[in-house]
Homo-oligomer: A and B are copies of this chain.
């Protein structure tokens, strides 16, 4: 067997990150990464089960899928595991009424959630919505609670838009954690529960699955901790300065196979 074939022996399912792997978000909705439309098509025609596993929290699943379909991807809403719906399930199960510090684009996912008299804060990638005033309001809500609960949709440090690197929700999560003396509950990658729900949806065991993403902590480290294999693409937030990706040198995870699209699309 070739080194690639050995590495991928026994893989039955593929989890695909979206932002920075399939496309770079940005002005006008963003642009598909070269080769990605074809790679997804090839994967879906193969024997492998495919699920899209994203931390996207600026858009509803409907909006995200609409955008990706316009860019040429074969994808439907039912194939996407995303943090907002997962958070809504947790809020309902625990009787939590959130103060929402989120992007307007994802607000519709929370349409059937009671947001009166909040007893927790949900923070997501609010982009320009991370004003001082909005952050301060979330802080004040938490400080008023006897048992403050902070739920964060992902904990990414940054992501890449066409115009450059952009601060992600993790930075603002850390700000609130420090100010309020609380620890956030993360819904989304790298939370094991989140990966497991994506695997359940395609009925594949962790040891039979591979996660493909651009984030060494959120995608690669998180998947490895769940017993999955993982592969980091050299697109999106991957940074190749002096041969060492910035995040790899700072993370605790073992180095993962690094790949460009040409390489990992050979999976299929």
Contacts and interface: CB of A to CB of B under 8 A. Distances in A.
A126 B170 CA distance: 20
Contacts of A128: 131-133
B167 A135 contact: yes
A136 B167 contact: yes
Contact of A174 (B131, B132, B167, B175): B175
User: SS class of chain A's interface: helix, strand, loop or mixed?
Assistant: helix
Contacts of A168: 179
A127 interface: yes
Interface stretch (A22-30, A33-41, A158-166): A158-166
A77 interface: no
Given A171-B175, A171-B176, A174-B174, A181 B132 contact: no
A246 B167 contact: no
Q: Which size class do A's interface residues fall under?
A: 20 to 34
A227 interface: no
Contact of A136 (B126, B129, B166, B250): B166
Given A128-B132, A131-B132, A132-B128, A181 B139 contact: no
Contact of A250 (B157, B174, B181, B247): B181
Interface of A: 126-133, 135-136, 139-140, 143, 157-158, 164-168, 170-172, 174-181, 246-247, 250
